[in-house]
Each structure stands twice: as C-alpha cells, then as structure tokens.
Amino acid sequence: MVAAGLQTCTDPSPTETVQATIVVRRRPGSEPHLKAVLRGDAPSMSREEAAQALGADPQSIQEVAQFARSYGLAVTESSAAERCVKVSGTVAQMEAAFGVKLRRCRSGGQYCIYYDQPLTIPSSLAAVVEAVLGLDRRPVASSR
C-alpha cells in the first residue's frame, strides 16, 4: 500500500544511513506543576529548575539508549532536559529496532523515506517512550 501523494516507491538500500529521535516522557508527576506554571498559579522556573522538574528521568534516557545500542544504532546525542535520544543507523537496523518496513518514494520532485505501519518498541519501554520521529519524512506542508 502506498500513502496518498507518493509515487515511484522502492526499497531503500539496507545500508543507507537514517537518523531518528526517540522522545522520552517527562518525569512522572511533573504535569501538575507544569500546568500550574502555564496557568500562572506557580512562579516561573529557571532553565535548570525546568530541566530538573520537567525533563526526562535520566534512568529512562539510559534505558532508551541501551535499547538503541542493542540493535546496533549509534546514540549521537541524548538529553534528559530535552527528553530525547537521537540515534543513527542503517535502514536495516532501524527496521529491526522499530518493526517497520521503510520505503523510499517520490513526493512531488523530491524523494523521502516513510513507513505505513505502526512502529513497535519493547513493552518495557512503553511507559518511557512518547514518540519516534524522523523515520517518516514525507512533506507535511507546501509553499504556494
């Protein structure tokens, strides 16, 4: 099945390098404080306080990085404050890590990578991972 607007779909080279960002959930219990700040019911926080209070648990970052490395992905950057683990690997490694089949398709005059089935992650990370970004690079807006 080809997503709407995509043409000339092929399998990318399994050795092609792809990057992705794994977004990690905030520390448990941080939402009430965040909502209070946004409503103006609590004082604003410094960047350091916000990173500590609203960032990811460093242990969660470690678990996600360990998962990525177990599939041969390189962890290129990680940040508890930014709640992300950036990874790089081959198409084959990304497909194995996230249980998807990547495709290379033309959209307009450009080529993009995409997948059309749900990503999967180990159940042990279900409460930790919020999103995986970068494996679907279809254009979402156009200039007119």
Query: What is the rounded CA–CA span in Å between residue 88 and residue 74?
Result: 5
Q: Give residue for tokens 């950057």.
A: 77
Q: What is the mean pLDDT of residues 135-140?
A: 75
Checking if the pLDDT of 125 tops 70, the result is yes
Residue 108 included in any domain: yes
Residue 72 included in any domain: yes
Residue 32 included in any domain: no
Checking if the pLDDT of 2 tops 50, the result is no
State the residue range of the domain holding 107: 7-27+56-133
Q: Give residue for tokens 């709407």.
A: 4
Burial (CB count <10 Å: 0-12, 13-18, 19+), residue 140: exposed
Residue-wise pLDDT for 48-73, tens only, equals: 877 777 889 999 999 999 999 999 99
Query: What is the rounded CA–CA span in Å between residue 144 and residue 142?
Result: 6
Q: Which among 20, 29, 114 is positioned nearest to 65, based on CA atoms? A: 20
Q: What is the mean pLDDT of residues 16-39?
A: 87
The pLDDT of residue 144: 59
Angle at 112 between CA 111 and CA 115, to 5 degrees: 140
Q: Give residue for tokens 């089949």.
A: 101
The pLDDT of residue 117: 85
Residue 138 included in any domain: no
Q: What is the mean pLDDT of residues 26-50?
A: 81
Structural domain total, the chain = 1
Query: Residue 140 gets which letter from DSSP?
Result: -
Residue 46 included in any domain: no
Phi and psi at residue 98, to the nearest 5° = -115, 5
Checking if the pLDDT of 85 tops 60, the result is yes
Residue 60 included in any domain: yes
Element (H, E) at 90: strand 84-90
Q: Which among 125, 122, 107 is positioned nearest to 62, based on CA atoms? A: 125
Q: What is the pTM of this model?
A: 0.83
Q: What is the mean pLDDT of residues 70-94?
A: 97
